[in-house]
Amino acid sequence: MLAARYHRYGGPGVLTVEEAEEPHAGPGQVRISVRATGVTPADWYLRSGMLKEMASLRFPRIPGMDAAGVVDEVGEGVTGTSVGDAVFGLVPLDRLGGAAARYAVLEAWAHKPRAWSFETAGGAAGNVETATRVLDALGAAEGMTLLIEGAAGGAGTMTAQLARARGLTVIGTASERNHHFLDELGVTPVTYGPGLAAPGPTRSPGRRRGAGRGGQGLPRRPGDHRRRPAPRGDDRRLRRRPPRSTVLPLRRGRARLVRTAVRRVPR
């Protein structure tokens, strides 16, 4: 099969398109004919060698952790998914790649919502998995209020929409230019900066303070901690407007499907 691959760490120039061996679905997996794959910050960190102390790669290597496509092989023990189904999902986490190819094996997946194109679905799985895991860890349920830092970003947007789908009230920090977008998601936008969090009961999934927002503590970009200094003295930060509309990318049933699949992934 044709695949994007690289044979050494480096910039985008190390990527090449070449023949690679086809993968096959093992127990609990499906293989898809890939229609779209996402390029995430983690793909970049891995290819550049930024994470080689944490995850040293074997070469040649196919990038891509998120993908969408049509199932063409179903592994032993898989139920509820058949050949021909349109799905989106994640490659096995221990492989940390493999989706930028004609065929890819997925270990966690859900059926692609009809309203989504393959391109949209192909970039969604990592953020859906992260958002679902965070909401589960917080015990997020109807009636709760959630503050999401960086709500207009990839992980934030998905967490906000899935939280709204669970019936939570969501407040999201973002730059002013993204406030209208958050309004459209049913999220109350707030400008980020010091003094944002009021004293009161809070819950966190137990991550250490100061780690990367919304994830595994990975840097977003080199030197990121110096970017976008937080504005000070903005008393109008919280605009007390009720959410206007809600965008639900996944029906509740679909969200549960993702969660079920994700629980099978060893960590």
Ligand X SMILES: NC(=O)c1ccc[n+]([C@@H]2O[C@H](COP(=O)([O-])OP(=O)(O)OC[C@H]3O[C@@H](n4cnc5c(N)ncnc54)[C@H](OP(=O)(O)O)[C@@H]3O)[C@@H](O)[C@H]2O)c1
- Give the residue from 83, 90, 96, 81 showing the smallest Cα distance to 44: 96
Using the rule CB under 6 A, is 161 a contact of ligand X? no
**Considering beta carbons, is residue 102 or 213 the nearer one to ligand X?**
213
Q: Which of 22, 72, 85, 149 binds ligand X (CB under 6 A)?
A: 149
| Least gap, CB of 199 to ligand X (angstroms) | 20
Q: How far apart are CA 114 and CA 128, in angstroms?
A: 16
Q: What are 58's strand-pairing partners? A: none
Tell whether omega for the bond before 231 is within 30 degrees of 0, i.e. cis: no
Using the rule CB under 6 A, is 141 a contact of ligand X? no
Using the rule CB under 6 A, is 145 a contact of ligand X? no
| Least gap, CB of 141 to ligand X (angstroms) | 22
- Within residues 184-223, the interface with ligand X by CB under 6 A covers 192, 212-216, 218, 220
How many residues contact ligand X, by CB under 6 A? 25
Which spans in 113-251 are helix H? 118-122, 125-138, 154-165, 179-184
| Least gap, CB of 232 to ligand X (angstroms) | 12
Piece of 71-79, 149-157, 162-170, 201-209 that binds ligand X (CB under 6 A): 149-157
Q: 258 and 159 in contact (C-beta within 8 Å)?
A: no
Q: How far apart are CA 119 and CA 69, in angstroms?
A: 9
**Considering beta carbons, is residue 144 or 147 the nearer one to ligand X?**
147
| Least gap, CB of 20 to ligand X (angstroms) | 25
- Give the residue from 177, 140, 176 showing the smallest Cα distance to 160: 140
Q: How far apart are CA 125 and CA 132, in angstroms?
A: 10
What single-letter DSSP state applies at residue 31? Answer: E
Using the rule CB under 6 A, is 41 a contact of ligand X? yes
Using the rule CB under 6 A, is 123 a contact of ligand X? no
**Considering beta carbons, is residue 63 or 156 the nearer one to ligand X?**
156
Q: How far apart are CA 192 and CA 234, in angstroms?
A: 9
Chain residues that interact with ligand X, rule: CB under 6 A: 41, 126-127, 130, 149-150, 152-156, 173-175, 178, 192, 212-216, 218, 220, 228, 230
